[in-house]
Amino acid sequence: MVGITAYGAYLPRLRLQKQVVADANAWFDSGLTALAKGEKAMCNWDEDAVTMATEAYADCMGRAPGQTPAAFFLASTSLPFADRQHSVIVAEALNLRTEDLRTMDVTSSQRAATSALLSALDVAAAGHGDAVVVASEHRHTKCASREEMLYGDGAAAVAVGKDNVVAELVASFTQAADMIDHYRAEGAVADYGWEERWVRDVGYMGILRRAVASLLEKAGVEAADIAHFILPTDQGRVPGAVAKRLGIPDSAVADNLLQSAGNAGAAQPLMLLAHRLEQAEPGDLILLTGFGQGCDVLLFRATDSIAGKKPEKGVSGHLARGEAETNYNKFQSFNDLLIKDLGKRAETDKTAFLSAMYRNRGLVNSFIGGECTVCHTVQMPKHNYCVNPECGAYNSQEDHPMAGVKGHVATWTADRLTFDFNPPAYFGLVKFDGGGRIMMDMTEVNPETFDTGAEVTVHFRIKQIDSQRGFRKYFWKAVPNQ
């Protein structure tokens, strides 16, 4: 049996209220009010498709060092580098064993995640081992656009294999078709979309509906037996209309989360899949579609193990932890939609010394400290000498992963002189449970509740953006558990 063995998701904590977007742009397009219901997930300035991917993987597989899959796929259309494999960045951030690990970025289509999932299932079915697919999306939009109202940020992860399967693969079907519902040209910041009715009639009601019908015929399954029907789209009424034409029950149609999180692009199929897996019962048939230059359709059946395998937070947990954001200017600033005077301190040269980054990637990418083999003292960062004054052993340090360890704030500063995209800049000393301490940046701080002694966890984030050379540096930041 080959199928899904684990799943997880991540949504940024900030939730931009759509009404503030509509209010700010009503003078230009009053029609935006029709899309102003609810909220959408919004990345902090130090989050992107890479950082969210690490969070989704951790929600799916856990943060503690464990078994490394045979293959790792990262699907997205909003990866920050044109020529750098992002799946490798995520793999090192997760401290995966990189020897004999297949990594691949899958991109350029809204069905990138379902195509990656099909490839991952092939890897597992061929006996090459387990595989993990993460889809993550942080798309930029034009101000006062329909896309600005509907697009949200987020990531989701699915692990596949032959053992401990929670949803077995029943059948799959793929149709390739160069039907251009939207596109983003090379060098462009935002998507260009075509007329919605044509996309609905030719794309969803045509190509996708026929692909689903072919899958059901191939699998010998009646449409009426589908318990969960996942059709990712930003057209709210389309899933129900397609389901009705196919004979799939209305109760099976998955909520696209347009009012609670927004459409997460290539990540949306896995996001909705993770959400429905939280609700699935043994024996439920789950039909997943991915649309973009054709269509992928995958049919799963939930096993008896479905109730015993839940993610750390999942989609439901992340939906519940959101914080309303009503500052439209902040959203525009974080997404580089405004030309702002950032001050002289923002002009400091941020050259990345790539050779130094490679030599220190254990700390920078994987947040690995050291544990003394003589006295078992844990220290951050790892050094040649043990920091225990009663030991001081030389070359006694073994790698000690710290990414999943909780800590507490020993000292902190809120600095408005140091440049930060979301001032003030918080930084201070974090002491970790079990040993080790390090000075580090802090993010997502609530000044009303934050103080010395606050419990924190560490998360992979953007540290600096070198806009002159088009490079972004990643490191770990402390996030209060508030």
The first and second tokens of residue 100, run together, are: 């004999």
Structural domain total, the chain:
3
**pLDDT confidence of residue 65:** 67
Residues 211, 230 share a domain? yes
- Does the pLDDT at position 394 exceed 90? yes
* Residue 469 domain boundaries: 344-366+402-480
Residues 148, 116 share a domain? yes
Which range is least confidently modeled, 91-95, 119-123, 233-237, 467-471? Answer: 467-471
pLDDT per residue as tens digits for the range 184-210: 999 999 999 999 999 999 999 999 999
Q: Name the average pLDDT for the chain.
A: 95
**pLDDT confidence of residue 260:** 98
Residues 383, 425 share a domain? no
Angle at 310 (CA atoms; ends 304, 316), nearest 5 degrees: 125
- Residues above pLDDT 70, as percent of the chain: 99
Residues 411, 284 share a domain? no
Residues 167, 18 share a domain? yes
Residues 243, 354 share a domain? no
Quick one: CA torsion of 39, 44, 159, 287, rounded to 10 degrees? 20
Q: Please report whether residue 339 resides in a domain.
A: no
Residues 444, 315 share a domain? no
Which range is least confidently modeled, 16-25, 232-241, 329-338? Answer: 329-338
pLDDT bracket for residue 130 (50, 70, 90): very high
Q: Please report whether residue 118 resides in a domain.
A: yes
End-to-end CA distance of the chain: 41
Whole-angstrom Cα distance, residue 119 to residue 135?
14
- Does the pLDDT at position 9 exceed 80? yes
Q: What is the 3-state secondary structure (H, E, C) of the chain?
A: CCEEEEEEEECCCEEEEHHHHHHHHCCCCHHHHHHCCCEEECCCCCCCHHHHHHHHHHHHHCCCCCCCCCEEEEECCCCCCCCCCHHHHHHHHCCCCCCCCEEEEECCCCCHHHHHHHHHHHHHHCCCCCEEEEEEECCCCCCCCHHHHHECCEEEEEEEECCCCCEEEEEEEEEECCCCCEECCCCCCCCEECCHHHHHHHHHHHHHHHHHHHHHHHHCCCHHHEEEEECCCCCCCHHHHHHHHHCCCHHHECCCCCCCCCECHHHHHHHHHHHHHHHCCCCCEEEEEEECCEEEEEEEEECCCHHHCCCCCHHHHHHHCCEEECCHHHHHHHCCCCCCCCCHHHHCCCCCCHHHHHHCHHHHCCCEEEEECCCCCEECCCCCECCCCCCCCECCEEEEECCCCCEEEEEEEEECCCCCCCCCEEEEEEEECCCCEEEEEECCCCCCCCCCCCEEEEEEEEEEEECCCCEEEEEEEEEECC
pLDDT average, residue stretch 172-195: 95
Q: Please report whether residue 240 resides in a domain.
A: yes
Q: Please report whether residue 17 resides in a domain.
A: yes
Residues 109, 146 share a domain? yes
Of the candidates 378, 370, 390, which has an alpha carbon nearest to the alpha carbon of residue 431?
378
pLDDT per residue as tens digits for the range 245-275: 999 999 999 999 999 999 999 999 999 999 9
Q: Please report whether residue 261 resides in a domain.
A: yes
- Does the pLDDT at position 385 exceed 70? yes
**pLDDT confidence of residue 285:** 98
pLDDT per residue as tens digits for the range 37-71: 999 999 999 999 999 999 999 999 998 766 789 99
**pLDDT confidence of residue 66:** 66
- Does the pLDDT at position 344 exceed 80? no
Q: Please report whether residue 192 resides in a domain.
A: yes
pLDDT bracket for residue 35 (50, 70, 90): very high
Q: Please report whether residue 434 resides in a domain.
A: yes
- Does the pLDDT at position 351 exceed 90? no
**pLDDT confidence of residue 337:** 87
Of the candidates 410, 386, 409, which has an alpha carbon nearest to the alpha carbon of residue 397?
386
Q: Please report whether residue 229 resides in a domain.
A: yes
pLDDT average, residue stretch 92-109: 95
pLDDT bracket for residue 350 (50, 70, 90): confident
- Does the pLDDT at position 343 exceed 80? no
Evaluate whether 386 touches 379 at the Cβ level (below 8 Å).
yes
Residues 95, 195 share a domain? yes
**pLDDT confidence of residue 220:** 98
pLDDT average, residue stretch 93-119: 96
Phi, then psi, of 102 in degrees rounded to 5: -80, 125
Residue that has been written with the tokens 């004054």 in this structure: 389
- Does the pLDDT at position 464 exceed 90? yes
Q: How many residues does the chain have?
A: 482
Residues 379, 280 share a domain? no
pTM over 0.85: yes
Residues 327, 444 share a domain? no
Residues 219, 293 share a domain? yes
Residue 296 has a CB neighbour count (10 Å cut-off) of: 27
Inter-CA distances, 340 with 16, 189, 334, 398, 471, Å: 20, 18, 11, 46, 20
Q: Which residue has the higher pLDDT, 3 or 67?
A: 3
pLDDT bracket for residue 321 (50, 70, 90): very high
**pLDDT confidence of residue 349:** 79
- Does the pLDDT at position 353 exceed 90? no
pLDDT bracket for residue 439 (50, 70, 90): very high
CATH of the domain at 275: 3.40.47.10
Residue 18 has a CB neighbour count (10 Å cut-off) of: 23
